[in-house]
Structure 1
């Protein structure tokens, strides 16, 4: 009889665990308005969710100088924090249905580690931890402050290093092509979700092993990937 190998599920945050689009859109609009610039469309803003802020701004305003890019990044950070401090409803960022139940179910398994790989800052993620109380469930947490932007595999590789879990026993769950591409670049399987900010066809094209329509299907999907019978 062999020991059950350790397993790791890495979660993206925005668009996967948390529906933060109202907060993101409000912050982006505020940041551009603060610099007397026309804000990007909703579709444009949601297309860059998951990227680190400098890379996100560079995609939204490719002609911007480095100085203007830095101003936009700082304005976004200030607006994001300001919305929270003023108690704006946009800052609520609710969990998607079934997310907390799925996290607790996985965390209850002795052989299972949980991780986070997010384009959010440490400050932004700490706010969500305070808001929803799920921080203690995670064994490894990677944020944009400490890594190159997705889809660079640095976050995934650090999760693997900190937990000691083998790549073949690790899966990432995400709603954007950046998550899927990051996972594949890090040598792990990736599962897409259809309730986030990128189209499912794009997730499949990026290499997602499967697409989930709700968190209730996550356990069975993991069993399928890991060949559990």
Structure 2
């Protein structure tokens, strides 16, 4: 069995407008200067308290907690207000193609909360494709390998037959730390070269490239 674990934000869905808007609102709610857009996008993939701590290094525990609460409130308001988190082109075709294979099982490893992930999957009618969901509620923040290790243990998958697909160095570092391989995607929030330096092999430019890249990984032909 081969296990493919997808990141969510920046890999399956484009959440940048929701994330940047919500983080900006959170800082403003507390009377803080919002971080630049690029700084906010650089921490996508980390669990929320860790991300906030990186954006506001001087924050004490109470301010981090307040920023987290303000972010969650702003994000919920944006979602209920109709702001979308669209799928990237080709997402459904790639997922359905891999899910149809008898020797492949799919999962997700994300810094989102379980509630947020479940909402995304329900909105796009994708929940049934994934046998395991690992979120910020289940394990330490990426790049800690726990989400991958726990998913492999739950499904009986071996590290050498596990692949993480993600758009950030945190995804690739998490995969490598767990003994798995990482496929980077160039359409997300970290530069492709940074993914290569983190150990992604390969980095793909479109979801149409995922299945061929996956097949090359397991045929010894990856370049």
TM-score using structure 1 length: 0.94
Q: 1:94 aligns with which of 86, 89, 96?
A: 86
Q: 1:118 aligns with which of 99, 110, 130?
A: 110
Paired with 1:205 and 1:96, the residues of 2 have a C-alpha distance of 24
Instruction: List 4+ stretches of structure 1 deviating above 6 A.
Output: none
- 1:45 and 2:75 are equivalent in the alignment: no
Q: Which residue does 2:134 correspond to in 1?
A: 142
Shift in Å, 1:103: 0.3
Shift in Å, 1:76: 0.5
Which consecutive unaligned segments of at least 5 residues does structure 2 have?
none
Q: Which residue does 1:75 correspond to in 2?
A: 70
Q: CA RMSD in A?
A: 1.0
- 1:18 and 2:10 are equivalent in the alignment: no
Which consecutive unaligned segments of at least 5 residues does structure 1 have?
1-5
Q: Which residue does 1:181 correspond to in 2?
A: 173
Shift in Å, 1:228: 6.7
Number of aligned pairs?
221
Shift in Å, 1:63: 0.5
Q: 1:154 aligns with which of 139, 146, 154?
A: 146
Q: Which residue does 1:195 correspond to in 2?
A: 187
Shift in Å, 1:86: 2.3
Q: Which residue does 1:3 correspond to in 2?
A: none
Q: Which residue does 1:33 correspond to in 2?
A: 28
SS at match of 1:145: coil
